[in-house]
Amino acid sequence: MGKDTLTITDNRTGKTYELEIKDGTIRSLDLRQIKVSKEDFGLMGYDPAFTNTASCRSQVTFIDGAKGILMYRGYPIEQLAEQSSFLETAYLLIYGELPNGEQLDEWEGNLKHHTFIHENIRKLLGGFRYDAHPMGMLVSMLGALSTFYPKSKRIRDPEIRKEQFYRLIAKTPTLAAFSFRHTRGLPMIYPDNDLSYAGNFLNMLWKMSEAKYEPNPVLEKALDVLFILHGDHEQNCSANAMRSVGSSEADPYCAAAAAAAALYGPLHGGANEQVLRMLVEIGSIKNVPGYVKRVKEGELLLMGFGHRVYKNYDPRAQIIKGIADQVFEVTGRNPLLDIALELERIALQDDYFVKRKLYPNVDFYSGLIYQAMGFPVEMYPVLFAIGRMPGWIGQWVEMLDDKEQKIARPRQIYTGYQKRDYLALDKRVPVADKAAVATQAPT
């Protein structure tokens, strides 16, 4: 076995450098010593979208994309989905260990204590249009919580931090359910703390005139497992947003609002909504081959397929397929399932998808379950956000406690104009398309 170093020869100067390799990684900052002259800034790595850059050391979640392995704090997702509960998993993600009985009771008790939201938040919600997207409302309400809990800015105080964990995890379903009821013009249903986390969420969504809402135990359990599956996914777009905003020492509500905003996009947590819209657009099994052809011609993406990390299968998608069967036994089979199954069948044997290692991801089947449970498509990313909240918190805490972390501040390669003199108004040429001109700027 050779040395754990990398030898680089800079052909511009003929100089050789030896960089340390640790955990299969070189430190990008070590590249800065590689210069052509004293004034040279030094070599940087160029990695748009961070496809090959580790931004942190983390102990929260492990993924082996090639083997389809996902573990939270070392526990395989399959075991957590089968044996744990969402709140227990949330504790694990944040504190690093499964709670004992006493810790779990305390954790659940504190979370129940924080499910209600300030009445002014409810009033704030009333300002949204009837057709506002619930994810847009959730992002805004999470940000708004920052103004209700100004102490949360003391991010280094462990007791104050803990209060924000409770509030973020306990209030997110309330905000989500209130957003949904707002779009329907329905009166708000306040939390019922006799119910489980998922059961209470269903209560706040669906309760009408009955004295006590009784959640269906199969649907309650299915939702709880879906939350577990969405708990964390290491350094994805929203976790990165949580860490990046948090690194400026913004309070956790602002950071969580940023993370939720990142999740909203159709390439991330918004994909489950797009999958359903796609299946509805396809409409019938006979239209599947034509749709796949359009995908292969680059006209469309097959939503719910592909993943930056998983290049074999997404273990969450496999668990979800099992949950779907249980849910459909209660709700009846979702008619779109046949289209989804046919799409998967054709895609998995087609060279285009095989070559690119495109498999169904977590969002491919979750939308079908949510639809069968009665959720409108706009709520799907919101459900994702409820599940992901403990992961965002776990990532945020780890970032704050990591002595190597600083405010996130990537470098750039400047490709714009060099210095030029200010042009008087009468000397300027009309610009037809500002964006086009900006991208044509000489380097």
Binding site for ligand CMC (CB under 6 A): 233, 236, 267-269, 271, 295, 301-308, 356, 358, 361-363
* Secondary structure class of 44 (helix, strand, coil): coil
Angle at 332 between CA 370 and CA 305, to 5 degrees: 40
Choosing from 268, 338, 350, 402, the catalytic residue is 268
Nearer to ligand CMC, 34 or 320 (CB): 320
Residue 311 C-beta: closest distance to ligand CMC, Å = 9
Written as six digits, the tokens of 310 are 């998983």
Nearer to ligand CMC, 380 or 396 (CB): 380
What is the CB-side half-sphere exposure of residue 205 using CA atoms within 13 A? 22
Nearer to ligand CMC, 168 or 347 (CB): 347
In the chain the first and final C-alpha atoms are separated, in Å, by 45
Catalytic, 307? Answer yes
Nearer to ligand CMC, 67 or 184 (CB): 67
Choosing from 182, 232, 307, 314, the catalytic residue is 307
Residue 439 C-beta: closest distance to ligand CMC, Å = 21
CB < 8 Å & 24+ apart, contacts of 260-265:
260/135, 260/138, 260/139, 260/142, 260/385, 261/139, 262/237, 262/238, 263/135, 263/237, 263/238, 263/381, 263/384, 263/385, 263/388, 264/135, 264/136, 264/139, 264/381, 265/237
Nearer to ligand CMC, 354 or 438 (CB): 354
Catalytic, 114? Answer no
Catalytic, 118? Answer no
Q: Using CA atoms, how far apart are residues 335 and 337, in angstroms rounded to an integer?
A: 5
Residue 233 C-beta: closest distance to ligand CMC, Å = 5
Choosing from 224, 232, 314, 363, the catalytic residue is 363
Residue 358 C-beta: closest distance to ligand CMC, Å = 5
Residue 354 C-beta: closest distance to ligand CMC, Å = 11
Biggest alpha carbon–alpha carbon distance for the chain: 81
Residues 6+ apart with CB under 8 A from 387: 86, 226, 227, 228, 229, 230, 231
Minimal CB distance residue for ligand CMC: 306
Residues annotated catalytic, as ranges: 268, 307, 363
